[in-house]
Structures are given as C-alpha cells and as structure tokens.
Amino acid sequence: MLSQQIAPLIVLRGGRVLDPSQGLDETADVVIEAGRIKNVGRDAGAAYEAGEEVRIIDAAGLWVCPGFIDLHVHLREPGQEYKEDIRSGLEAAAAGGFTAVCPMPNTQPTNDTRAITEMMVARALEHGGTRLLPFGAVTKGQRGAELTEMADLRDAGAIGVSDDGLCVMNAAVMRHAMEYARTFDLLVSQHCEDHDLTAGAQMHEGARSTQLGLRGWPRAAEDIIVARDLILAEMTGARYHVAHISSLGAVRLIREAKSRGLRVSAEVTPHHLLFTDEALLSYDTYCKVNPPLREQADLEALREALADGTIDCIATDHAPHTDLEKDCEFEAASVGIDGLESAIGGMLGLVREGVLTPLRFVEALSAAPARLIPDFEGGSLREGRRADVTVLDPAAQWILDEEALRSKSHNTPLLGRELTGRPVMTVVGGRVVHELGT
Ligand SMILES: [Zn+2]
C-alpha cells in the first residue's frame, strides 16, 4: 500500500492549467478537495492557508494537466514478473505522470477470463496508486479462433479487447469480435500485422534492412490489416482502434475513414514519433520493436497526424524486458521498449519544436484516450470531476538514469540521455501517488 494519505485539501497555485476538455490554457489555481476538483480559476486558492488539513503547492512555471492515461502497456503479471509486475508497473506509471494505464492481455496465462481480469484489478486496488483499466483478449489464448466471453470480461473491469502482440488474422473472427464487442461498447484494439508478410522479420523493410542483411517487416503488412478492419468496422459499427500505428499508409487510411464519420481511432508510441530505422544501424537491440521503427517519411506523417487529430492519442506500448532478453544477438533479442518513465521527457521536444501545441500534447495524453474508455470519469479538470491530475515541469533538465527507474526493466534507447521536462507530481483521486524527490 502507498503510504500517502488523502490530504483533505490540495491547492496548486499559479500553474499553467492546460485542460483540453475545456480548451483551457491559462494561469490559474486548482483546488482539490475530498478527491475531487473543487474549482479552477485565477486566485481560486488564494483564500486558503497551509496547515494540517490544507497543502499548498507553488505551481508557478509548472503545467497542471488532467491525469495522463496510457491506453497500451504490458505489465507482465501474471506470468513474467521477473520483467515487471503490477506493482512495479504502476509505480513506473505514477513516476511517469500516468494516473491510469491499460495493460494488454498477453500475459501468461492470457487475460481471457473473468478470473484473471478480476485478479489484475484487485492487485492494482491493493496497491492503491495509478488506476489499472485492463484489456481482455479478443480470442481465447489469443489463438485467433474462438471468441472470449466479453460480457464477463467487461463485468470484471475490462475496458476493451485486443489480442495485442498478435493480430486477429481471420476476417470472419474479427467480424464476429466486432459485432460482439459492439454489444458491450468495448473498444476493439488491433495489433495490425499480417503475420504471413512478416514471417522472420527483424526490422522495417527498406533500404536499411537490405544494408544490414536483416529480414524486413513491410508497411503493407500493417496497411492491409488496417484497410480490412476499417471495412469490417464500417459493416459492424464497432469502435475500432489501431494500436501503435507506424506506417504512413495506415495514417492515410484512418484519415479517410474518419472523414466519413467512422468510429475509429488510433494511437502512436513515443518511439515511433522520435526514431527511425536509422537507429538500428548499430544493431541496437533497445530499438528492436514491433511494429518496427520506420522511415523519416513515416515519422513525419505520424507527427502531422497526431497534431491534426487523425491519430487520437499517445500510448507508450511499455514493454519491459530484462538484459537477458536484450543483451544478445539482434536476431535473438525480444521486441519492445520500456516507455512509461521516459515518455513525457522524450516527447516534450515535439512541443518545443512546434510539432504539437501544449494543449494538443496534453489532449493526446488525457482527454483523447479518456474518450475511448467507456464510462470513464477522467481526462478533465472540470469542477466536480475525480481529481486525477498530472503536474509537470516542462523545463526540468534530467538524465534518464537506470538506478532511478521504478520499472524492473530499462530497455529504452533514451536510457542515459539528457531529457528536458518531466512529471513532478501525480495525483489519483485526490491522493498524491508520486512526487519528485520523495
Ligand atoms: Zn502490439
């Protein structure tokens, strides 16, 4: 259990309040009482005095945002707790500024039943920090054939379904999954990869894979599944979501589908926004990820689409692995990047470069993912809302140091790099679950 108690009242004074749900970008106070947003406004907190019952925090120079939500993480419990577990994963999430995270079901065993979903939710509640909103599997054992009992999964707390790590390859299965999920308003998140086209692939297929002599993962393998699924989403009316979009072709398809009013959405990871396959020229296994890092044209298309809202949100695809699985030959290395604690520091550069406005950056991490989660009271600082709040210092200079990471793993190409900007306080339901320096 976390030791922090609920302070009856927290006053964040004079911060830059960025709340995309209200189009708010102004200097203001945020008052949190009994776990909820009491009010937001210039000098709203002026009347309070610090004391046992009231904590006053000088937020001058800081950004005060609705709590960040990560729609795509791997916390490895049950089954691979040596890489990460729910507790370490939620601590990493809190340290990274996230007030809610959505773990994917590719655990061991697969999260394809009510019992496993309930166990994960209970474990998180016992920890008492960042909220855990799990995805259940689309198919039993993620084998791509038989659908899970989605009603049970939803009743146990699942917010969506996905076979992430694997693609639902069979079109008939995907159609029935969408029809079934629609009944329960569950989000269907697809890992878009035609596995026949990526057999044995180690990296993006292009000039660099040829140069390195590694088998390639062509964009077409992603685009084909996105195109097929959009047709099925239109047919079924399901809420369809593209996980970790990486190719410029997939962006084009989503843009076209949205222009016709389809209920589709997409997320992009920090690493696909920051790196290209050039990072693999040194055979850096920390950059081996699925879908793979692609080319400059893809990176630019992803940035543009995130800025204009074609891509709804940023999700880390936090995929912890130990040294054993990464300090080895490239072809033997596991895929994935540890992302929760480096996401904000890594991506604030996009704001400084003018790729994203501060408000859009915050929206892609809060209001946008919140909209995709059924009945979720988050992503907003409106008065009366549950007080999930992320406070960050956009100017803090720091080094992503292995020793300081809360995650059990540290497989990220940002390790050891100097970053600018970081979360300094994470508040969940009015409780401080992370504070820098404590
Ligand atoms: Zn995936």
Q: How many other CB atoms are found less than 10 A from the CB of residue 275?
A: 21
Is pTM beyond 0.75? Reply is yes
Alpha helices in 40-164 (DSSP H): 86-95, 114-127, 150-156
Taking only the tens place, the pLDDT of each residue in 327-386 is: 888 888 888 888 999 999 999 999 999 999 999 999 999 999 999 998 999 999 999 999
pLDDT for 33 equals: 96
For every residue of 161-214, DSSP letters joined together read EE-TTS----HHHHHHHHHHHHHTT-EEEE----TTTSTT--EESSHHHHHHT-
Task: Tell me the average pLDDT across 133-140.
Answer: 98
Distance 71 CA to ligand 1 centre (A): 12
Distance 221 CA to ligand 1 centre (A): 13
Task: Tell me the average pLDDT across 171-190.
Answer: 97
Distance 367 CA to ligand 1 centre (A): 22
Distance CA 57, CA 195 (A): 51
CA 23 distance to own-chain centroid? 22
Task: Tell me the average pLDDT across 133-149.
Answer: 98
Element (DSSP H or E) covering residue 368: helix 367-372
Distance 29 CA to ligand 1 centre (A): 39
Distance 244 CA to ligand 1 centre (A): 7
pLDDT for 150 equals: 98
Task: Tell me the average pLDDT across 416-425.
Answer: 95
Is a pLDDT exceeding 70 seen at residue 18?
A: yes
Distance 113 CA to ligand 1 centre (A): 20
Distance 225 CA to ligand 1 centre (A): 13
Task: Tell me the average pLDDT across 197-204.
Answer: 96
Lowest mean pLDDT among 29-33, 124-128, 246-250, 403-407: 403-407
For every residue of 377-422, DSSP letters joined together read --S---TTSB--EEEEEEEEEEE--GGG-SSS----TTTT-EEEEE
Is a pLDDT exceeding 60 seen at residue 6?
A: no
Distance 136 CA to ligand 1 centre (A): 14
Distance 191 CA to ligand 1 centre (A): 5
Is a pLDDT exceeding 70 seen at residue 145?
A: yes
Identify the residue with better confidence: 366 or 7.
366
Is a pLDDT exceeding 80 seen at residue 273?
A: yes
Distance 392 CA to ligand 1 centre (A): 28
Length of the chain: 438
Catalytic center residues: 317
Task: Tell me the average pLDDT across 240-263.
Answer: 98
3-state secondary structure of 323: helix
Is a pLDDT exceeding 70 seen at residue 1?
A: no
- C-beta separation of 282 from 359 below 8 A: no
Distance CA 380, CA 129 (A): 19
Closest CA to 68 of 366, 416, 278: 366
